[in-house]
Amino acid sequence: MNADLFDEQPDFSLQQVCLDDGAFLLRGFAENMDAELMSTLENVIAQAPLRHMTTPGGFRMSVAMSNCGQVGWISDRNGYRYDAFDPETGRPWPDLPEIFIDMASRAATRAGYEDFLPDACLINCYEPGARLSLHQDMDERDKSAPIVSVSLGLSAVFLFGGSSRTIRPKRYQLLHGDVAVWGGPSRFNFHGIAPLLDGYHPVLGRKRINLTFRKAL
């Protein structure tokens, strides 16, 4: 018998899906480093706890958030903005960990965006029922840089619309370890997350965490 036949490694080549002009989904890109991402994230959250922010309209967001990097995205009664200080602690946001920067810039390169150096990372934590309604990301000063996002834990239905709110969103399942790169014309598409379904993930339990890496300044 030919033993070599059984030594062959399966082809784990990444599945890369083009979602729209400039937007790519790198299936499983961060799967092999999920434990390191999570332990690094726990250290960040210990310094800047997850919290439910308030929308300018006065509603409590169902997604719990925190940040690391030079600036962090915040929302309160006065509006949305980036700020160098965590309003909960009064301290600067924790530094962007090296492995976060490295993962995000490798993913951007894979999608065709060279030299992406994020300066902000928004941490979104979803529990069953939490959702993010359709919106555009407009608060970043550098509008030419892509956004890189990594999904961890429970899967979610990502709603990917177009440049106008009236374009009906397409639905994509985002799984643990998936990384998406959003640049070019699609950078300003409407998007959101459908209410998270209950479930149990071996690494994160009954939660989904999404990290978005941006060049905000």
Chain contacts with ligand MD3 (rule: CB under 6 A): 122, 124, 132, 137, 147, 149, 180, 182, 186-187, 189, 191, 193, 210, 212
Query: Does residue 140 interact with Fe ion by CB under 5 A?
Result: no
CA-nearest of 186, 152, 158 to 171 is 158
For the CB of residue 189, give the shortest distance to ligand MD3 in the complex, in Å. 5
For the CB of residue 169, give the shortest distance to Fe ion in the complex, in Å. 13
The binder of Fe ion chosen from 119, 137, 140, 178 (CB under 5 A): 137
C-alpha 169/C-alpha 183 separation (Å) is 17
Query: How many of the other CB atoms lie within 10 Å of CB of 129?
Result: 10
Residue nearest to ligand MD3 (CB): 210
**Residue 182 contact partner, candidates ligand MD3, Fe ion, none, CB within 5 to 8 A by sort of partner:** ligand MD3
Decide whether 90 or 147 has the Cβ nearer to ligand MD3: 147
Q: Could you tell me the two tokens for 40?
A: 């690094």
Decide whether 137 or 178 has the Cβ nearer to Fe ion: 137
Size of the site for Fe ion (CB under 5 A): 1
CA-nearest of 195, 134, 203 to 164 is 134
Decide whether 44 or 132 has the Cβ nearer to Fe ion: 132
Give the DSSP H/E element, type plus range, for residue 147: strand 147-153
112: left (phi over 0), alpha (psi -120 to 50) or beta: left
Decide whether 91 or 171 has the Cβ nearer to Fe ion: 171
Chain CA centroid to CA 203, Å? 17
Amino acid residing at 211: L
Q: Are 66 and 44 in contact (CB under 8 A)?
A: yes
Q: Are 180 and 111 in contact (CB under 8 A)?
A: no
Decide whether 103 or 132 has the Cβ nearer to Fe ion: 132
Stretch that binds Fe ion, among 73-81, 92-100, 130-138, 165-173 (CB under 5 A): 130-138
For the CB of residue 156, give the shortest distance to Fe ion in the complex, in Å. 13
Decide whether 3 or 79 has the Cβ nearer to ligand MD3: 79
Q: Are 65 and 53 in contact (CB under 8 A)?
A: yes
The footprint of Fe ion (CB under 5 A) covers 137
